[in-house]
Structure 1
């Protein structure tokens, strides 16, 4: 299904497959509603590849299934190279895809491997992250390497401190905006149907501060603060802690059951939290919702799946047994 969706959507692109190797701007402006369709294809392709690589291997007796997997793997991998490449996709999503695939491997969950990868990731965020957005626009500026201190003080990628300060001033002057929570929850409603839909918090704060560049973040701390002050911040992060603890518990219980929903979803959600904490939510909640919903639609709990399989096997064996007269 994912391959069919990919072929259909790529053919419908204004520039076809070439649009995915020009810039993010080329994909986003190639048609009405294209952004949502592009995200749907990107997330579906990611889960298809993760499922083929990490779902439990069938027994040798099921040769047809094994053959199908071997045939589909290069096709799904090629689809991901097209729709999830760093040219047409944001940095946070490319990082989520690569790191999820990497840490879904059991060997990468060992303490030493995790420490080495975490240190590499931290160095990448500090030194290489600003230069990984080279393909955002069609008209690209010349890359100039500057000191790390200059990056922290002048680059919009490291705007968290300034945006938090601006958000406090904004809330003090304009008051809290609890309706922004509704805007995040109903992110899929187009503004043509909801003219008063709350705007992106990062853009709102940038305009309030008088910046000419409005593509800025809104860290979850200040976004939740603007909703209803410190109580909203406490409730938001308390809920994140509760959810994170339950997800970790599921992963520990299913550590040996590779391919179940919890095991596959944990690394994807873990690495997506980097952009989730950075915000703003209205800009990143769509891909997050698709990342969580798609595996729920295509998988079943391990126990249910196994019991159903065992039931079918038992039924088949019973039918093959000759009837005995008493």
Structure 2
């Protein structure tokens, strides 16, 4: 079932937001119009995603970020000439450059996504019943025993590692507030790796749950090993992804993963309601989650904030980071692939690789003269710093195509040999896509990398043949 009512609501809300923000001031007309073009292209793609039968979770969250967390706040900051970080240090002479890079990158990304959707806008995925196919699906094409053993091994390894870290780092790291967990982790003799270990635990728990959930509920494998795997993965999730200690983007990943694994049909039937309520959740739930886990104790007080004031918050610093990356390139030149290589090889310590790049957002902020460097860097800025505007357009178009492909994998009917690992990856990337889009990539790639590695390990174990002597 398509969702015309929800689509009209989403598009109307977006246009009202756009007109309101555009009319909020009269500064910086040219860059505002460029960002406005990026906003409208993103909103149109976002509306197409909402209209379609298929769930398209990766595309939805990607376009959601570009519409409401990147371009819309950028327009408001331009029209009011107010920026969150070191307002007086912002290079006003580079506003048009940053807006043009944002427009070009956004256009390429949305074109990549749209080309995977428009051809099937009135049809179904893979020329069949597509996303309307009910779960669970038969597992007759699988070796049930090997799939169960592989899932059991992965879930057992994840649970063992998480319990070991719980014993070593203490329960407050996992069950306290996020601020308390950060203080405890950073206080262990300056061990910066402790925070990454917590990230590894969260990624392992999400991946274990995703794989075992698909094996049990999608493929319908209900033997004893699978039941034990489910118990182990839920236990891992309860420890490593306890909500009070998670960053907000990890809470999105947790909610998306659990929902996409356990209730795909509910999400599909109620897609219009869930997707239309996205902006409301962003501007109300995000500030609440931020205050909930600050300090040593939970603060569950809820305060309705002015959305315009929130658009000037550090959560929406994407456009300001785009200005900074122009400064970075002017000062240091393009990295010519060095940043993406550093991201892929994020696990290599700088003591071994002295030329490894730091977070792009931090380097750009430092180049712009900021003292606080924990600043984001959206995808267009990441790629621009590596190779310029043409490379940005080409790479983001390819990423858009990949995003559409991941959606098709999730919505495709039937279980084939590659369905469990590929569906797992599509679900996990859907959860991680907001933080990947916001960046900086090298600081957030660890979780997705661990998740994909575990999925690859499951595939290896499934295909592993043990010789009997």
TM-score between both structures, scaled by the size of structure 1: 0.78
| Match of residue 17, structure 1, among 163, 171, 175 | 171
Alignment partner, residue 58 of structure 1: 221
Structure scoring higher RCO (CA < 8 A, sep ≥ 6) equals 2
| Equivalent runs, 1:245-260 vs 2, <5 Å | 245-253=404-412, 255-257=413-415, 260=420
Matched pairs, number: 294
Superposition deviation, residue 268 in structure 1:
1.8
| Match of residue 129, structure 1, among 283, 286, 289 | 286
Q: d(CA) in 2 for partners of 1:52 and 1:197? A: 36
Superposition deviation, residue 297 in structure 1:
0.8
Alignment partner, residue 450 of structure 2: 290
Alignment partner, residue 324 of structure 1: none
Q: d(CA) in 2 for partners of 1:192 and 1:262? A: 35
Superposition deviation, residue 276 in structure 1:
1.1
Alignment partner, residue 316 of structure 1: none
Give yes or no for the alignment of 1:44 onto 2:201: no
**Gap regions ≥5 residues in structure 2:** 1-155
Distance 1:289 1:212, change over 3 A: same
Give yes or no for the alignment of 1:223 onto 2:382: yes
Q: d(CA) in 1 for partners of 2:298 and 2:372? A: 15
Distance 1:134 1:189, change over 3 A: farther
What do the CA deviations read for 1:200-248 (whole angstroms, capped 9, x no partner)? 1111222233334322110111111111110221122122123224334
Alignment partner, residue 428 of structure 2: 268
Q: Secondary structure at the match of 1:260?
A: helix
Q: Secondary structure at the match of 1:187?
A: coil
Q: Secondary structure at the match of 2:281?
A: helix
Give yes or no for the alignment of 1:170 onto 2:348: no
Superposition deviation, residue 77 in structure 1:
2.4
Structure 1, 288-297 or 131-140: larger mean CA deviation? 131-140
Q: d(CA) in 1 for partners of 2:305 and 2:267? A: 35
Alignment partner, residue 35 of structure 1: 195
TM-score between both structures, scaled by the size of structure 2: 0.56
Q: Secondary structure at the match of 2:376?
A: coil
Superposition deviation, residue 124 in structure 1:
1.5
Provide the alpha-carbon RMSD of the alignment: 3.0
**Gap regions ≥5 residues in structure 1:** 309-326
